Structure 1
C-alpha cells in the first residue's frame, strides 16, 4: 500500500494560507485530495488510493444494502416524534400524518450523521416559523453514510439518490405529493445525494434543492453529472461555508451564498474545518425561523473575484439566504456577513 500523508486539523499550513485565508486550486480538479477521517484528521491521497483503501477494508459502496434507507415524517401534529413511512407499504402511509395539501421538505444528512440531524431545521419550520404546516421527511441513510471510510459513503451518493427518488415518485402516486411545493435540503454529502435525487425522479421535477456546504473531496467542479448541479431542480441554492476543504468553493448553485467569504466562519478557529462546515446548517435553520425580512440579507456580486474581496457594493435587489421566495428572484453569487455566535444574522449590512 502506498504511503499516505496524514494531515492533522491543526496543520492548515499544508493547505496554504494567503492573506489569512485558505488557498486552493480554482477549478478544484485536484489529483490528490484531503480525505476526512473519523478521528478528525485528513489523509491526502489520490482517488485511486482512496478506492484501494475502501476495497481493502471491504467497505466498498457497491456492497451496501440500500433497501434499509428509512424515511421519518414530522408534522405539526407530531413535531418531535416521527412516524416511519415505508415505500410500497400503504398502511404505513395511512398511519402517518402526511397531508398532501401542505408543502413537503426532505432532509438528507451528511457523512456520519443520522436522521436526527434534521432537528435544527425541523424546529425552525414546525416550532419557530410562522407557517408550521409542513411535511418534513428526514432520510436515514446511515446504513451507508456512517461507514468509517468517507470514500465508501461518497461512492454511494448516486445510489442513495436513486432510492430517495423512487420514494418521492411513490409518494407522488400514492399520496399526491406535489413537486411544485417540494424542497430537498442536504448537508455535505447529503447535498450531492439531493442532487442525484433531483437527477433521477421520474414523475416530475423537484422545485427546490438547498445544498448546505456540499462536500468537495472526490467531487469535481467540471463534472456536474456526478455532483449537485444547478439543473437538478427548478431552483438550486447553495450555502458554502468551508470552501476548498470540506466543502465546494466554486459556485455550484443557481444562487450561491458565501457567508463571510465562504471559507472559514467567525467563531470557528481556522483549524476547525468541521465547525465552519457545520455553520451552513446553523445559518440556514436560523434563516428559516426568522420572521423579519432583513435577516441574513446578502448583496449580489458580479463575479467570484469581487466576492473574494468582499467588494460587492450595495447592488440591488438584495436577497436573503434561505428565503423560500429565492426561486423567483435569486441568481448568481451573493456575499453576506454574520455574527460569530448565535443569533448569527446581522440585521443591517
Structure 2
C-alpha cells in the first residue's frame, strides 16, 4: 500500500526504507533526537514527483539537520477515479500512523518532533495520520497542509465514510498551518488550521499561472513552502511575510499594515493564530522578502496573470 523512505542529511542523502526487519541498519541512518519531516504527495503523483522532491531537496540543502521521510502511496493515489483515492486517504493515514508509532516504540522517534507535510490529498493523509497518532495518546507537533484538496472533502463529500476524521483540521496536531492557493477549485477554501495563509487571496490564478492554469495554482502551495525552507530562519527582510487581515482586498489597500505579522512556510510562528494574507512574485523567487504590498508592482501585472508558467 505504501513505501516509506527516510533520509538524514549528514548520514544518508539517498534514503533507506523503514521496515521492522532491519532496524539496526535503519538506526545508522537517522537521528532519533532530531525533527522528522514526513512529506506526502497528492493524487496522480508519487514520492519522486516535484511535489516531494523540491521540498526534500530544500531540507537537504538547508542548515537544518532533520530526518526526512518521503511517503509513497502512488498505487492508491494513481487511481483514475478520484473518489476512490480520496476515500482511501483514511487508510493510508492509518498505515502511516502505525509506522510512526512503531518508530516511537523502538525509541527511534519522538512524537513531539514529528512534522507532517502534505499536498492536496496528501494533506488529508497527513490529517488522518495525525488523528490516529493522537488516538494512541499523543498529538504530533505540526501538520502543514499545502492547498488541501477541496473536492470530496469541503465539496461533494457525501461518498466519504467519515469526513470529520478524514479532512485535515486543527484537531489533528498541536499546530496546523495551511497554505491556500486554489480556493474553490482544486483546493480548500475554509480556514481549517490554527493559522491559514492566503497568498494573493488564495484563489486561482496565482500570479504567473495564467487563467487556465488550475494545476499550476494548486501546485504553488508546495512551491512556496519549498522556497520558504531556504531562508533558514525568520528574517524580516526575507521570506513570505504576511499580515493578519479580513480579506485580500483589505490587505491590498494597506488597511492591515498595523496588524499581526507572520511568515508563511517552514518558519511560521506557531504561537500566532488567525488568517493571514500576502502577495508574491509571479516568478521564482516568489517571496517579496518583506516588501510592502504595492498594487503597481510587477507581480500583479495582467501580463503575468496570462503567463502559463
Aligned to 2:299: none
Distance 2:240 2:278 in 1: 7
Runs of 4+ in 1 over 6 A off after TM superposition: none
Structure 2 residue aligned with 1:340: 282
- Corresponding residue number in structure 2 for 1:14: none
**What are the residue-to-residue correspondences of 1:11-50 with 2, within 5 Å?**
none
Distance 1:92 1:144 in 2: 30
Aligned to 1:192: 124
1:268 to 204, 209, 215: 209
CA contact under 8 A between 1:83 and 1:96: conserved in structure 2? Answer: no
Corresponding position of 2:295? none
State the shift of 1:315 in Å: 3.1
> Match for residue 324 of structure 1?
267
Counterparts of 1:126 and 1:226, CA distance in 2: 30
2:80 maps to 1:148: yes
1:305-324 residue pairs with structure 2 within 5 A? Answer: 306-307=247-248, 309-310=250-251, 313-324=256-267
Cα pair 2:262 2:268 within 8 Å, conserved: no
Shift of residue 297, structure 1, vs aligned partner: 0.3
For the pair 1:157 / 2:89, whether they are aligned, the reply is: yes
- Other-structure match for 1:300: 244
Q: Which runs of 5+ in 1 are unaligned?
A: 1-67
1:252 maps to which of 166, 181, 192? 192
Aligned Cα root-mean-square deviation (Å): 1.9
Q: Kindly tell me: are residues 190 and 93 of structure 1, through their superposed partners in 2, closer, same or farther at Cα, counting changes over 3 Å?
A: farther
Q: 1:214 is matched with which residue?
A: 148
Alpha-carbon deviation of 1:176? 3.3
Q: Are the aligned partners of 1:300 and 1:315 in contact in 2 as well (CA < 8 Å)?
A: no
2:101 corresponds to which of 169, 179, 187 = 169
1:143 deviates by 1.9
Counterpart in the other structure of 2:42: 110
Task: After superposition, give the CA deviation of every residue in 1:148-174 in whole Å (9 maximum; x if it has no partner).
Answer: 221111010111110000110001111
Partner of 1:179: 111
* Contact in 2 for aligned 1:256/1:332 (Cα 8 Å): yes
Q: Matched residues in 2 for 1:79 and 1:318: separation?
A: 37
Distance 1:190 1:124 in 2: 19
Distance 2:37 2:3 in 1: 15
Offset, 1:183: 0.3
The alpha-carbon distance between structure 1 residues 85 and 249, as it changes in their structure 2 partners (threshold 3 A), is same
Q: Per-residue displacement from partner, 1:300-330 (whole Å, max 9, x unpaired)?
A: 01x3xx33553551134311001435222x2
Q: Which stretches in structure 2 are left out of the alignment for 5+ residues?
A: 158-162, 293-309
What's the offset of the Cα at 1:75? Answer: 1.5
* 1: CA distance, partners of 2:47 / 2:11: 15
User: Is the radius of gyration larger for structure 1 or structure 2?
Assistant: 1
CA separation of 1:93 and 1:325: change in aligned 2, threshold 3 A: farther
2:168 pairs, out of 228, 231, 238, with 228
User: Which of 115, 119, 123 pairs up with 2:53?
Assistant: 119
What is the count of residue pairs matched by the alignment?
275
Q: TM-score, normalised by structure 2?
A: 0.84
Distance 1:316 1:212 in 2: 24
